[in-house]
Amino acid sequence: IEALTSDVSIGGFRLMTPAPLESGTKLDLEIQLGEEGIPIHAEAEVMWQSKNSNVSYETGVQITHMPDKDKSQFMSFVFDQMSKIVGNHAIASGEKN
């Protein structure tokens, strides 16, 4: 299943899926970081799900395993994204760095 991610953190993320997944379902994921990113791999478990519509579900997953080389790339990507958000917040609120 292809899915979009949001609320990404080191421990997991939210998926927008076209089909339901039950809590406890084990997932073998291939994750593309950014538009041109090289895919990384992870194992995850579905923690919760809510139905948005007949064709859209929000699914919370927890990462249970990720190879060290992929974990390093994933952590770097997450921190880069977080620093962009923090930087944009500081600009919007008029704070100076």
CA distance 74 to 68: 10
Please answer whether residues 4 and 15 qualify as being in contact, where contact means their C-beta atoms are separated by less than 8 angstroms: yes
- Give rounded-to-5 percent helix, strand, coil for the chain: 25, 40, 30
pLDDT tens digits, the chain, 97 residues: what are they? 777 777 777 788 888 889 899 999 999 999 888 777 778 999 999 999 999 888 899 999 999 999 998 988 888 887 887 777 666 554 444 555 4
Q: Decide: pTM greater than 0.95.
A: no
What is the tens place of the pLDDT at every residue in 44-65? 999 999 998 888 999 999 999 9
Q: Find the DSSP H helices in the chain.
A: 68-92
